[in-house]
Amino acid sequence: MIYANLTLIPVLAKRVIFYNEPIEGKIMSYLMMVLWQSMNMLCIHLVNTKIGMIYIDAEVLREGHDMTLNNLDDGVLILNEPEMHIQFMNTAAMNFGDS
Asked if residue 95 is part of any domain, the answer here is: no
Structural domain harbouring 23 = 2-74
Helices (H), the chain: 2-6, 8-18, 24-70, 91-94
Q: What's the mean pLDDT when you consider all of the chain?
A: 81
Q: What is the pLDDT of residue 1?
A: 64
Residue 45 lies in a domain: yes
Burial of 65 (0-12, 13-18, 19+ CB in 10 A): exposed
Residue 52 has pLDDT above 80, yes or no: yes
Residue 63 lies in a domain: yes
Q: Which residues contact 42 (CB under 8 A, 6 or more apart)?
A: 1
Beta bridge partners of 86: 79
In the structure, what pLDDT confidence band is assigned to residue 39 with cuts at 50, 70 and 90?
very high
CA angle, 57 as apex, 93 and 63 as ends, to 5°? 15
Could you give the number of structural domains in the chain?
1
Whether residue 91 is contained in a domain is answered as: no
What digits encode the pLDDT tens for the residues 3-33?
777 777 888 888 888 888 888 877 888 888 8
- Position 35 in a domain: yes
pTM confidence score: 0.49
79 domain residue, yes or no: no
